[in-house]
Amino acid sequence: MDAEYARKLQEEEESHVQAKDVQAKDVQAKRIQFQMAFFKGKTYDQIRPIFQARFNANMRFLLKSKEEMAKEEEEIIKSINETPTQKAAKRRRLRKQAKEAEDLKKQLEVLGDEDDDVFVEATPIGTK
Query: What is the identity of the amino acid at 18?
Result: Q
Per-residue pLDDT band at 2 (split at 50, 70, 90):
confident
pLDDT in tens, 18-75: 888 888 888 888 877 777 777 788 888 988 998 999 999 999 888 888 888 899 899 8
Question: How many folded domains does the chain comprise?
Answer: 1
Q: Is residue 103 part of a domain?
A: no
Q: What is the pLDDT of residue 118?
A: 60
Q: What is the pLDDT of residue 15?
A: 86
Q: What is the pLDDT of residue 116?
A: 62
Cα 9 to the chain's mean position, in Å?
43
Q: Is residue 22 part of a domain?
A: yes
Which 3 state secondary structure label does DSSP give 119? Answer: strand
Per-residue pLDDT band at 117 (split at 50, 70, 90):
low
Beta carbons of 111 and 121 less than 8 angstroms apart: yes
Name every residue whose Cβ is closer than 8 Å to that of residue 111 and which is 6 or more positions away in sequence: 118, 119, 120, 121
Beta carbons of 107 and 123 less than 8 angstroms apart: yes
Which 3 state secondary structure label does DSSP give 44? Answer: helix
Q: What is the pLDDT of residue 95?
A: 95
Q: Is residue 78 part of a domain?
A: no
Q: Could you tell me the end-to-end alpha-carbon distance of the chain, in angstroms, rounded to an integer? A: 87
| Range of the structural domain that residue 8 is part of | 1-63
How far is residue 18's CA from residue 21's CA, in Å, rounded to a whole number?
5
pLDDT in tens, 81-109: 888 888 889 899 999 999 999 888 888 76
Q: Is residue 81 part of a domain?
A: no
Q: Is residue 54 part of a domain?
A: yes
Q: Is residue 37 part of a domain?
A: yes
How far is residue 58's CA from residue 56's CA, in Å, rounded to a whole number?
5
Q: Is residue 111 part of a domain?
A: no
Q: Is residue 70 part of a domain?
A: no
